[in-house]
Structure 1
């Protein structure tokens, strides 16, 4: 018997320029809570060849702080503050690689308001979901950018998703 060892998403990791500012953003925008600091900002920096190899960092990168946040439901958010000789801007949705994560919300207008009050910038007002498998009364989304440049989607799906008419599988929803 072949047992699938995968249980589900544990956390996402985001590198930020200022871990305290990013923490405040997640608290203000999403009600996040600090679980723990793996590497406190006031502590010793983490750097060296072993670290470069394990995390696949550009040599000379210094890990200044690491903090795990909890959202009400779903995976954790692990924030990294690093300084290095080569750092790039965050990716856009058209770039290769992990380009956004989505947060399920009950009241998208209130979520947009909190996101913006926390310092984020929404690209548009909430839009109806347009993929046929996701359309439904009140089902909507919008993309926004955090103060440090990462992309977050807010999504609300109060109506059943039409894909369920043709599938026994269920999309995870907190």
Structure 2
């Protein structure tokens, strides 16, 4: 039995945004996101202090002022948004930077998904284009957009699934529909 048998999958991806309500509006308008819950609301005392700094790796005097879990689609990981009051915040990372650089959403109609994202305030980095090796099956395409606060989001259509090299140890999750 594998020592990783207790690992079930990715629960969520966290993104810090400048304004959680504006980011929620964007994700709702662009991708049909739904609020699951607010782990911390504006009415709650901010999460801050030495314990939060230690547990979460926050810089000194940083406060989490709002935290929200969103659901996009029917399957896959959730999206956790954080709004911080921090004396030091950096711009979002770009694809070449070390760290988590983007999220990717499976879409069934890339033209429609891109249109919705742009109407909601996203900026596409390019035209819709083909996918990378093993994702480049017939009808596949992708495009990166920048959310209004700068986070990169990849829209990816892979209607005919992936193909795999001989050394592959697993297959990538694909929505059933």
CA deviation after TM superposition for structure 1 residue 46, in Å: 1.6
Name the stretch that deviates more: 159-168 or 94-103.
159-168
Partner of 1:123: 125
Partner of 1:57: 58
TM-score, length of structure 1 as denominator length: 0.93
CA distance in 2, matches of 1:103, 1:67: 19
Q: Is the 8 A contact 1:164 1:170 kept in 2?
A: no
CA deviation after TM superposition for structure 1 residue 138, in Å: 1.1
Partner of 2:79: 77
Structure 2 alignment gaps of length 5 or more: none
CA distance in 2, matches of 1:2, 1:116: 44
CA deviation after TM superposition for structure 1 residue 71, in Å: 1.3
Partner of 1:41: 42
Name the stretch that deviates more: 153-162 or 77-86.
153-162
Question: CA 1:156–1:48 in structure 2 vs 1: closer, same or farther (change >3 Å)?
Answer: same
1:37-81, Cα deviation, whole Å (9 max, x unpaired): 110023222211111111101101011100111112211110000
How many corresponding residue pairs? Answer: 173
Q: Is the 8 A contact 1:129 1:141 kept in 2?
A: yes
SS at match of 1:102: strand
Q: Is the 8 A contact 1:134 1:163 kept in 2?
A: no
SS at match of 1:101: strand
CA distance in 2, matches of 1:3, 1:168: 16
Q: Is the 8 A contact 1:28 1:115 kept in 2?
A: yes
Q: Is the 8 A contact 2:161 2:174 kept in 1?
A: no
